[in-house]
């Protein structure tokens, strides 16, 4: 199998499918973002304009002057904030369990890994829907709170940014547990033993040895949570109730009610650029971790 | 490591781990339990065990049709994706070549691009090329995402092979093709099977991409459920969701058992 031509032949189908059905469309999307919007949806293929990008930052006032409009920037900022918060929260929740898992006997480790991945592979829609049942007024938590006398009013958690946050943390938690676990499991145990031998207590071993050495996993997990969170569409739509718009819902709107394809394409392109920027920041480290994940 | 074993136990992590596991499973368990609730509102009031809502779901013609669409798309996309991914994994494993990092990054691209971005890009592509939205467009789009999902476990399995086996086959005058068919494929088939199962789960679970590119009459189950849930909560959704959970959980368990048996 060392033959170069043979290798090229084996790789061609996969690269052709991804190239034609993903990379080419992404290029097309960038192209569409520079087109003029069609009168009743669609685009005019022959007319180029930067209107979509102008619309992202400005609006026209009554005198037809361009005025800075921060509405869309606010939606992006809100999404970035929510994605960051989600990543930090998942990190706090994931680290202890990853640490515990990594120090279990090998046989049990494989089993625990399986137990953690089952929810991860459970349909995203189903997982979010389950939270509707828990959070809605008259739902499980609401009844629990009222019957224990904790509160006498409805919880009113569902269809709020809080519910979106809960759903995002829940959805992406395995993305954080797995890479941290992988880096902790690969960690050279002798380093920790050496720390203990030299009189370190658990806290010092944790903060001076384990935490720094699990940094690649933490960074990888952070990106694996942050990236899909930023483009999340299902969770805000189901749990957020569409009151506070997120990037994903905003993009979807352009292809739904608003019928503004160039603007939708431009928004998606900006989102993609943000993510590419985040990935380039961490370069190959991310790729290495993603490769180890499965 | 009795002494070290004690030291390595970080106090509180065990309790935290069990709390996280409970957190991960609680919503799923609640959903499954409620799907058997006889109550006709899906509020959390237990009114006895019943499979009534499964019967209601089965009687919903649109839902049954969407299940058929989902299964058709998932089967075809998984088959194409797994074959293509196996070929690619054969090319990238057990060897290092120039540009390998770039090739692997390219193969991982469908998992890196946010699904909403990929979805609209593919939608625009289909509109421009003139491919009608329907089962075939769904199959094309899903195939893209099954490739990296299937690729990773297959490649992991190939990397774990003892290189001496292929060398021994070559020493005994097996042609590359014979060595592939008689030695390598029989040894990596658990990896291929587990890759295919993950790809199938991935295709069956996809909401975002299917939401944008399923035409009228070719709604997949998740897209159908998505629109139902947006309309409001009905106990039928609990039943269908439970079926989806059962499907992915049993495929995963199978893939886990396979992996344990052959590793």
pLDDT digits (tens, 9 = 90+) for B69-124: 999 999 999 999 999 999 999 988 877 888 888 898 899 899 889 889 999 999 99
| CATH code where residue A245 lies | 1.10.3720.10
Question: Minimal CA–CA distance to B107: which of A224, A12, A289?
Answer: A12
Q: Facing residues of B49 across strands? A: B37
Pairwise CB contact (< 8 Å): B124 & A96: no
Q: Which two tokens stand for residue B3?
A: 């002494």
- Among A17, A123, A177, beta carbon nearest to B84: A17
A11/B contact by beta carbon, under 8 A: yes
Dihedral sign from CA coordinates of A45, A51, A55, A57: positive
Asked if A280 has any chain B CB less than 8 Å from its own CB, the reply is no
- Check if B190 contacts A (Cβ < 8 Å): no
Any chain B CB within 8 A of the CB of A168? no
**pLDDT tens, residue by residue, B189-242:** 888 998 999 899 999 989 999 999 987 888 999 999 988 888 777 788 888 899
Q: Distance, in angstroms, between A59 CA and closest chain B CA?
A: 24
CB A116 within 8 A of CB A174: yes
Local structure of A105: helix, strand or coil: coil
Q: Which of A197-206, A209-218, B59-68, B245-254 has the lowest mean pLDDT?
A: A197-206
Q: Can you name the residues that pair with A60 across neighbouring β-strands?
A: A66
Does A103 contact chain B (CB < 8 Å)?
A: yes
Nearest residue in chain B measured CA to CA from A205: B8
Chain B touched by A194 (CB under 8 Å): no
Helices (H) and strands (E) in chain A, counts: 15, 4
Chain A segment 46-65 residues within 8 A of B by beta carbon are: none
Domain total in chain B:
1
- How many angstroms from the chain centroid is the CA of residue A134? 23
Task: State residue A204's pLDDT score.
Answer: 83
Q: Cβ–Cβ of B141/A114 closer than 8 Å?
A: no
Domain assignment present for B95: yes
> With an 8 Å Cβ cutoff, is A75 touching chain B?
no
Q: Are the Cβ atoms of B114 and A134 closer than 8 angstroms? A: no
The answer to whether the CB of B217 falls within 8 A of the CB of B62 is: no
Looking at the domain assignment, is residue A144 inside a domain? yes
Neighbouring residues of B143: CB distance < 8 A, sequence distance ≥ 6: A17, A21, B76, B77, B80, B81, B84
Q: What is the pLDDT of chain B when averaged over all its residues?
A: 86
Interatomic CA distance for residues B198 and B215, integer angstroms: 25
Q: Domain for residue A242, yes or no?
A: yes
Tell me if B143 and A17 make a contact (CB, 8 A cut-off).
Answer: yes
Burial classification of residue A211, based on how many CB atoms lie within 10 Å of its CB (0-12 exposed, 13-18 middle, 19 or more buried):
middle
Tens of pLDDT along B24-48? 999 999 888 888 887 766 566 677 7
pLDDT in tens, A237-284: 888 876 677 888 889 888 877 788 899 999 999 999 988 887 777 765
Sign of dihedral through CA atoms A141, A145, A151, A153?
A: positive
The verdict on residue A215 lying in a domain is yes
How far does the CA of residue A18 sit from the closest CA of chain B (Å)?
6
State whether residue B236 sits within 8 Å of chain A by CB. no
| B211 is a domain residue | yes
**What is the domain-level CATH number for residue B144?**
1.10.3720.10
So what's the pLDDT on residue B53?
Answer: 81
Q: Is residue A28 part of a domain?
A: no
Q: Which among A6, A121, A126 is the top mutation candidate for probing chain B, defined by the most B β-carbons within 10 Å of its own β-carbon? A: A126
Query: Between B1 and A286, whose confidence is greater?
Result: A286
Q: DSSP 3-state assignment of B218?
A: coil
Say if A166 falls within a structural domain.
yes
Least CB–CB distance from A294: residue in B8, B152, B256: B152
What's chain A's length in residues? 294
Tell me if A37 is assigned to some domain: no
Q: Which helix (H) or strand (E) holds A47?
A: strand A43-48
Confirm whether A31 is domain-assigned.
Answer: no
Distance from CA of B107 to the nearest CA of A (A): 7
- Is the residue at A116 inside a domain? yes
pLDDT of residue B26: 92
pLDDT of residue A153: 72
Q: How far is B72 from chain A (nearest CA, A)?
A: 18
Residue B52 lies in a domain: no
Chain B partners within 8 Å of A110 (Cβ): 260
Structure-block tokens of residue A152 = 């006498």
> Minimum mean pLDDT among A74-78, B7-11, B47-51: which range?
B7-11
pLDDT score for A283: 67
Best mutation target, A14, A221, A241, A269, to test chain B (most B CBs within 10 A):
A14
| Highest averaged pLDDT of the listed ranges A221-230, A231-240, B146-155, B164-173 | B146-155
- Indicate which of A24, A34, A130, A198 best probes the interface with B, i.e. most B CBs within 10 Å of its own CB: A130
Q: In terms of residue numbers, what domain contains B92?
A: 60-262
Q: CB within 8 A of A125, min separation 6: which ones?
A: A234, A238, B205, B207, B222, B225, B226, B229, B241
Which positions in chain A touch B222 (Cβ < 8 Å)? 123, 125
Selected residues 50-79 of chain B with any CB under 8 Å from a CB in chain A: none
- Per-residue model confidence (pLDDT) at position A294: 42
* Cβ-contact B204, B210 below 8 angstroms: no
Q: Cβ contact (<8 Å) for B30 and A251?
A: no
Show Cβ contacts of residue A5 under 8 Å, excluding neighbours closer than 6 positions.
Answer: none
- Say if the Cβ atoms of A28 and B95 lie within 8 Å: no
Q: State ipTM.
A: 0.86
* pLDDT score, position B156: 86
- Contact between chains at B147 and A114 (C-beta distance less than 8 A): no
A273 shares contact with chain B (CB less than 8 Å): no
Burial class (CB in 10 A: 0-12, 13-18, 19+), A160: middle
Residue B54 lies in a domain: no
Q: Which of B23, B24, B148, B238 to mutate to test the interface with A (most CBs of A within 10 A)?
A: B24
Q: Is residue B112 part of a domain?
A: yes
Both tokens of A211, joined, read 């935490």
Tokens of A253: 């709107």
Helix%, strand%, coil% for chain A, nearest 5: 75, 5, 20
Q: List per-block mean pLDDT (blocks of 10 residues) for chain A, which spans 294 residues.
A: 77 94 94 83 77 79 77 88 93 93 88 89 88 83 76 76 90 91 85 83 82 86 88 87 79 84 91 85 59 49
Work out the angle at residue A217's Cα, subtended by the Cα atoms of residues A117 and A230, and round it to the nearest 5 degrees: 75
Q: Residue B174 — pLDDT band, cuts 50, 70, 90?
A: confident
Q: What are phi and psi of A260, to 5 degrees?
A: -120, 85
The set of residues, in sequence order, having a beta carbon less than 8 Å from that of A101 and lying 6+ positions away, is A109, A112, A113, A116, A177, A181, A184, A185, B17
Burial (0-12, 13-18, 19+ Cβ within 10 Å), B134: middle
| CA proximity to B229, closest of B221, B217, B237, B241 | B237
Please count the structural domains in chain A.
Answer: 1
A228 touches chain B (CB under 8 A): yes
Of the pLDDT bands very low, low, confident and very high (cuts 50, 70, 90), residue B1 is very low
Interface test with A, best of B26, B107, B112 (most A CBs within 10 A): B112
In a domain? residue B29: no
Domain of residue A204: give its range: 69-293
DSSP state of B161: S
At A23 the pLDDT is 95
Buried b / exposed e over B216-236, threshold 16 CB at 10 Å, is eebbbbbbbbbebbeeebbbb
């Amino acid at each position: 199998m060392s033959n170069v031509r043979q290798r090229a032949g084996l790789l061609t189908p996969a690269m052709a499918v991804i190239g034609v059905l993903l990379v080419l469309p992404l290029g097309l999307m960038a192209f569409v973002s520079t087109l003029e919007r069609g009168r009743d949806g669609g685009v005019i293929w022959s007319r180029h304009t930067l209107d979509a990008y102008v619309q992202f930052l400005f609006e026209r006032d009554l005198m037809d002057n361009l005025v800075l409009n921060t509405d869309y920037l606010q939606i992006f900022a809100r999404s970035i904030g929510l994605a960051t918060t989600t990543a930090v929260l998942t990190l706090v929740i994931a680290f202890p369990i990853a640490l515990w898992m990594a120090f279990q006997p090998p046989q049990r480790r494989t089993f625990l890994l399986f137990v953690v991945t089952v929810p991860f592979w459970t349909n995203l829609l189903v997982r979010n829907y389950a939270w509707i049942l828990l959070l809605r007024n008259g739902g499980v938590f609401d009844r629990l709170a009222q019957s224990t006398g904790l509160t006498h009013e409805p919880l009113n958690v569902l269809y709020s940014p809080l519910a979106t946050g809960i759903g995002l943390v829940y959805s992406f938690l395995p993305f954080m547990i797995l890479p941290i676990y992988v880096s902790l499991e690969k960690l050279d145990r002798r380093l920790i033993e050496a720390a203990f031998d030299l009189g370190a207590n658990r806290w010092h071993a944790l903060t001076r040895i384990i935490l720094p050495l699990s940094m690649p996993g933490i960074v990888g997990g952070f990106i694996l949570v942050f990236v899909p969170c930023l483009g999340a569409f299902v969770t805000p739509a189901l749990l957020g109730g569409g009151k506070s718009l997120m990037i994903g819902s905003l993009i979807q709107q352009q292809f739904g009610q608003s019928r503004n394809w160039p603007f939708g394409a431009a928004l998606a392109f900006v989102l993609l650029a943000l993510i590419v920027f985040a990935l380039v920041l961490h370069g190959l480290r991310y790729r290495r971790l993603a490769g180890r994940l499965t | 490591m009795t002494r070290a074993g004690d030291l390595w136990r970080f106090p509180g992590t065990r309790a935290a781990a069990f709390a996280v596991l409970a957190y991960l499973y609680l919503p799923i368990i609640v959903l499954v339990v409620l799907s058997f609730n006889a109550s006709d509102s899906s509020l959390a009031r237990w009114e006895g065990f019943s499979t009534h809502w499964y019967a209601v779901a089965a009687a919903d013609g649109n839902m049954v049709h969407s299940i058929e669409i989902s299964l058709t798309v998932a089967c075809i996309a998984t088959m194409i994706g797994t074959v293509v991914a196996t070929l690619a994994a054969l090319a990238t494993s057990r060897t290092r070549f120039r540009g390998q990092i770039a090739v692997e990054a390219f193969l991982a691209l469908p998992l890196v691009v946010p699904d909403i971005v990929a979805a609209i890009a593919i939608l625009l592509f289909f509109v421009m090329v003139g491919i009608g939205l329907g089962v075939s467009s769904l199959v094309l789009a899903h195939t893209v995402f099954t490739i990296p999902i299937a690729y990773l476990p297959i490649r992991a399995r190939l990397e774990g092979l003892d290189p001496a086996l292929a060398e021994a086959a070559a020493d005994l005058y097996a042609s590359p093709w014979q060595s592939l068919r008689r030695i390598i494929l029989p040894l990596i088939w658990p990896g291929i099977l587990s890759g295919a199962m993950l790809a199938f789960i991935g295709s069956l679970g996809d909401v975002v991409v299917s939401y944008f590119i399923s035409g009228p009459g070719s709604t997949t189950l998740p897209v159908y459920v998505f629109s139902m849930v947006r309309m409001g909560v009905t106990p039928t959704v609990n039943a269908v969701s439970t079926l989806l959970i059962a499907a992915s959980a049993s495929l995963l368990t199978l893939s886990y058992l396979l992996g344990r048996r052959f590793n």
